[in-house]
Each structure stands twice: as C-alpha cells, then as structure tokens.
A and B are shown apart, each in its own frame.
Chain A
Amino acid sequence: MAKKIEAIIREEKVGDVKDALRGIGIVGMNIFEVKGHGRQGGITLAGRSGTYQIDMLPRVQVNIILSDHNVEKTIETIRRAAKSEDGGAGDGLIFVFPVEEVVRIRTGERGTDALKYEGDIDARLARYYAPPGRKTEAESESKPKAVKTPGKISRFFIKT
C-alpha cells in the first residue's frame, strides 16, 4: 500500500530537496517548520553582552505519502539533496511509516489511486515502459499538463 516519509532536514536544504523530489516526479508534499535537536546538540549565539546557548534548532520537516515501490528511490533522493557539504552533524533524519488508508476528498478515490497525479513518478515510469507509438492511459485521455517546476532544477535531477 502506501508509506509516509517524514524527513527532518536543514532549513537551507529545503529548496534543493524540493527540486530533487520534483525531478523524480514526487509532486505532493507538506512542509513544517520544527525545532529540535539530535546528536548535534545546541549552538552558540551572540547576546547583548557575551554569548548564550540555544539547544532547540530550527529545522524543516517534509511529509510525503507515496506508494511502497517508490519509497527507496525517494529516500535516496532526499538523502543526497539534504546532505550538507561540510558533512557535520545536524543534517537530519528520515523516518518511514506505514499508511493504512488514503482518501482523496474531491473524488473519493482510495488507496494508492488517491496518490496518483498527472506527470507523477508512476506516470513517468509508465511512459518509460510503454511500447513506442502507444500512448499511456494518462496521455491518451487528455494532454497532460506539464508539472510546473521552478526555473532552477537542482543537480540531483534524475532523468526518467
């Protein structure tokens, strides 16, 4: 069925991760501003006189619900995009949870059907495997709208 990915990442990596996910056709996600800490502990800030410590650091949590078979590829994409260049502690964690049911409110679709979008990761796979000359189900019904991505696509873009 479906899984939920919760990725806690650095604030400054949100753009990279979003671009990379769009690059592999993950088109739906929620993000949250969260605070916390793991192994990194806290950081020191400059105060009015001298310095002080804060231990709850700002991070962003990205939530994605997706079909089981896309989980590994998505995890790897997030991991590569969210890793910081200096390799210090504090890059974050990725959690995967089972999802019992998904319902799309507009149509009443359930399960993995409710997770499908035009141009998403599964549609791309279908197009890739479709024999030449035959259009995929999605393409034959109506001309699929291009997925809007921001101008800059990150270096983690994965061609399908």
Chain B
Amino acid sequence: MGHINSGDTAWVLMSAALVMMMTPALAFFYGGMVRRKNILSTLNLSFIMLGLISIQWVLIGYTLAFGHNIGGFIGNLQFIGLTGVGSGPSLAYAPTIPHLSFALYQMMFAVITPALITGAFVERVRFKTFLVFALIWATVVYDPVAHWVWGIGGFLNRMGALDFAGGTVVHVTAGFAALAFAMVIGARKGYGKTPMEPSAIPYTILGAGLLWLGWFGFNGGSALAANGVAAHAIVNTNTAAAAGALVWMMLSWRDDKPSVLGIVTGAVVGLVAITPAAGFVEPWAAIIIGGVAATISYYAIRLRQRTRLDESLDVFACHGLGGTTGAILTGLFATKAVNPKGANGLFYGNPKQLAIQIAAVAIVAVFTFVLTFVIAKVLDRLMGLRVDENSEEVGLDISEHGELASA
C-alpha cells in the first residue's frame, strides 16, 4: 500500500510547474530565430500546445500512455477523462505521490514534445493543418511511444531500455518527426537565395535560459521523489548543459567568433543529451555526454546546411541527434551506484545495455519517422500543409493571425 509523502508530492508538483514553463520558453527560443514577420506565429505554434495537448491528455492521452497495458503497445481506456486518477497514490507509477500529480507532470512532457517539432516548419505552415497534425501526432505517436518506454508492460520497458526523463520519448520522437515533416512540407520560399537569419537572438537567449531552469524540473522531477536520485539528476543536468555550451563556444570560435546563438544552442543540446541519462550516470559522465552531443549537433547542422533540406531551426540536429547520443551514451555510463532501479552500462561490465539502448532508439526513430511522414503526406493532400505563396511572403503573423508583433 502506497503512502503519500508530502516532500515528494511538493517536489513533483513544483517540477510540473517548471516543465510547464518550458513550453513558453521554447516558444521564445524558436521565436527569436525566425524573421520578424513570423515571430508571433512561431511563438504561438509552441504556446497553443499548452491548450491543445493539455485537453488531449486529460481526455485520452494519459490513459493511452499509462493505462493498463494491452499487448505491450498501448494503454487501455481505464483512465479516460482522468477517471479513476485521484488523490491517492498510483502503486504502479508513483507510490508516494497523488496519482493526479503524476498525470499532471506527465502532461507537461506531452505538451512540449509536439511544440519541439514546430521548429522544422516555421514561417510556412498552415496553422489549421498544424493543429490537426499535433492532435493526431500526440495520439498515435507520442502516447504509444511513452507507453512503450515508460508504461508498465510496455515492450521497450520490458526489454530494459533506460530513458530517465524522455531522451527517447520526447527528443528522439520530436527530432525524427521534425525531419519527416520538413521533407514533406519543403523549403521556405526563397530558401538559399534570400537571407533568413534570426531577427531577435535575445529572445532565443531568454528562451534557452528558461529552458535550462525548467530542465531541473524535467530531469529532477523524473525521480518522482525528493531524494538523492533527483539531486543527481539536477547536478548532471546542469553539468551537461555547461559542457554543451562550452564545447559549442569553442567549435564556433575555431570557425570564426564565439557565436552567442551557438553558445545557447550548445547548452540546450547538452540538456537534451543528458535527459535519458540524468538519473543513471555520475556527474563526470555528464560532462562527456554534453560535450559529445554538442560536437555531433554542431557538425550535423553544418551538413544539413549544405543540403536543400530546410529543417528550419535544426530540431533534428539538436533534439533528434542530441537525444540519440544521450540514449546511446546512457548504455555506456549508466551505473547502479547512482540509481539502483537503473542498470549498469558497458563501462560497468554490462555490454548488453548498450545494445538495448541502440535498439530502443532505432525502433522509436523508425516508427516516428515513418508514421509522421505518412500523417504529413495525408494532411498535405487533404488540407494543405503550407500557406499560399503570397501569405508566406507577407508573413504568417499577418496572414494567419491578423496581428503584428509590434505596431
């Protein structure tokens, strides 16, 4: 019988609030990187997820992800509309806090994940189609993957895949969905010919700073308790972000000057990469994880820029590859000394864990990519993914929302 612990409950509720803040923070992170005429549109693509996915999660999302397992793939409908999710503890998921606080905390992850994808198609997406896409994607991609990895009886969970706070569930899915969506929607008008440089880098820095703060809840709260694992997770989170920022700064400096946009991007990539590992590794490993991920993402952006693919804000390079790197490195550095509920990785005598991590990422990546590609193609046929050329030229703030960021 579970017993509600007030310290754990306070920490998880607080963490839910921190993760909630990450979605508007992400809005600013992305908003600063687009042209002036699309700032409101870009901010809104993230912000509206707080509206849309919060409702989806209450009605159907939570039960699909955390309802009683059906065949290893999906939750049943026992918690539809959050019925039966009360103030008592959930023995399966969080025995020391009210079940509702666990559902709320998980809701904020479900909200930010589709918001992360929006960086792929800013400045050209049709808002109405995006809303439909986000609803379908959350229901048929996010909820099942969350169940596979975190649900009791989910097949990746049973396989022993480690994902402390969503490196695979959140960042790999968002990154590969971004890649697929960008391939379907095509490049922005004039991409490669006219400059499309960031119009408000200070917004991006503000957003990155708030993301860093929010990530303490994202990773620290994933311990679902106010304990040593939470402390470990937060120290690792901060350490990896710091390593990512420093490494990116040095790479940027080597090429020209230390770009501030680059430094904050490096911090975010470090945060992404430590997400799956935060509660399983030692702080020294967090330095390696953050630094390696920043290096991979830095050069991945360079390679992407040489192609015709307009994955506009490099969600794939930052989140897809950052999440993949973190998930795989978890298979090297994880140790039961940090978290007895975890597993040992390759460096602690368990090479099998590395294979499990790679398999889990590969399965989720392929599933997400294929399904997102199909959803985007179908919606493109039915509703049109893009606004017309004239609306794109005018900018989505006016053509989609009838507003100006500043008059």
Contact between A49 and B195, CB atoms less than 8 A apart: no
Interface set, chain A 132-151, CB cutoff 8 A to B: none
Give every chain A residue within 8 A of B197 (Cβ-Cβ). Answer: 45, 47, 52, 54
Report if A46 contacts B (CB, 8 A): yes
Interface membership of A50, Cβ < 8 A: yes
Contacts of A50 in B (CB 8 A): 252, 255-256, 302, 305
Of B138-146, B258-266, B355-363, the stretch lying at the interface with chain A is B258-266
**B268-286 to A contact mask, C-beta < 8 Å, 1/0:** 0000000000000000000
A152 interface contact, C-beta 8 A:
no
Mask, B236-255, CB within 8 Å of A = 1, is 00000000000000011001
Indicate if the CB atoms of A47 and B195 lie closer than 8 Å.
Answer: no
Q: Report the bound CA distance from A46 to B250 in whole Å.
A: 13
Contacts of B62 in A (CB 8 A): none
Closest residue of chain B to A54 (Cβ to Cβ) is B195
* Chain B nearest CB, measured from A75 CB (Å): 34
In the complex, which range does the number of interface residues on chain B fall in?
10 to 19
Which chain B residues in 63-103 approach chain A with CB under 8 Å?
none
For A29-54 the 0/1 string (1 means CB < 8 A from B) is: 00000000000000011111111101
- Are A49 and B256 CB-contacts (below 8 A) given A54-B195, A54-B197? no
A-B contact pairs, 14 of them (CB 8 A): A44-B256, A46-B261, A47-B197, A47-B259, A47-B262, A48-B262, A48-B301, A48-B314, A49-B262, A50-B252, A50-B255, A50-B305, A52-B197, A54-B195
Is B191 an interface residue, CB under 8 A from the partner? no
CA distance A49 to B265 in the complex (A): 10
Q: Does B316 contact A (CB under 8 A)?
A: no
CB distance from B200 to the nearest CB of A (A): 14
Which A residues touch B257, using CB under 8 A? 46
Task: State the Cβ distance, A87 to closest chain B Cβ, in Å.
Answer: 23
B148 contacts the other chain (Cβ, under 8 Å)? no
Q: How far is the CA of A57 from the CA of B348 in the complex (A)?
A: 56
Asked if B256 and A46 make an inter-chain contact with CB atoms under 8 angstroms apart, the answer reads yes
Q: Is the CB of A46 within 8 A of B195?
A: no
Not counting A46-B252, A48-B262, A50-B252, a sample of 9 additional A-B residue pairs whose C-beta atoms are within 8 angstroms of each other reads A46-B258, A46-B261, A47-B259, A47-B262, A49-B298, A49-B299, A50-B255, A50-B256, A51-B256
Give Cα A48–Cα B256 distance, bound, in whole angstroms: 11
Contact of B305 with A49 in the complex, beta carbons under 8 Å: yes
**Which B residue's beta carbon lies closest to that of A44?**
B256
In the complex, A111→B345 CA distance in Å?
A: 87
Please indicate which of the listed interface residues A45, A47, A48, A54 has the most CB atoms of chain B within 10 Å of its own CB. A48
- Cβ-neighbour of B302 out of A44, A45, A49 (below 8 A): A49
Q: Give CA–CA (A46, B314) in the complex, Å.
A: 17
B residues in contact with A47, CB < 8 Å:
197, 259, 261-262
What chain B residues lie within 8 Å of A48 (beta carbons)? 259, 261-262, 265, 301, 314
Q: Which partner residue on chain B sits nearest A46 by CB separation? A: B259
8 nearest A-B residue pairs (beta carbon): A46-B259, A49-B301, A46-B257, A51-B256, A46-B256, A49-B302, A48-B261, A50-B255
Distance in angstroms between the alpha carbons of A52 and B302 in the assembled complex? 11
A-side contacts of B195, CB under 8 Å = 52, 54
Chain A residues with CB below 8 A from B305, complex form: 49-50
Chain A contacts for B299, CB-based, 8 A: 49
CA distance A45 to B302 in the complex (A): 15
Residues of A within 8 A of B251 (CB): 49
In the bound assembly, the distance between CA atoms of A125 and B262 in angstroms comes to: 57
* Chain A residues, Cβ within 8 Å of B259: 46-48
Residues 288-325 of chain B, each 1 if its beta carbon lies under 8 Å from chain A, else 0: 00000000001101100100000000100000000000
Bound together, the chains give a CA A44 to CA B257 distance in angstroms of: 10
In the complex formed, the residue of B with least CB distance to A50 is: B255
In whole angstroms, how far apart are the Cα atoms of A60 and B298 in the complex?
A: 36
Chain B nearest CB, measured from A39 CB (Å): 21
Min Cβ gap B203→A in Å is 14
User: How many whole Å from A131's CB to the nearest CB in chain B?
Assistant: 58
Residues of the B chain whose Cβ atoms lie less than 8 Å from the Cβ of A54: 195, 197
Question: Closest CB of chain B to A57's CB: distance in Å?
Answer: 12
CB of A2 to closest CB in B, whole Å? 36
A45 surroundings in chain B (CB, below 8 A)? 197
Interface string of B322-335 (1 = CB under 8 A from A): 00000000000000
What's the nearest-Cβ distance from chain B to residue A65, in Å?
Answer: 31
Q: B261: which A residues are within 8 A, CB to CB?
A: 46-48
- A47 CA to B197 CA in the complex, in Å? 9
Complex-state Cα separation, A49 to B296, whole angstroms? 11
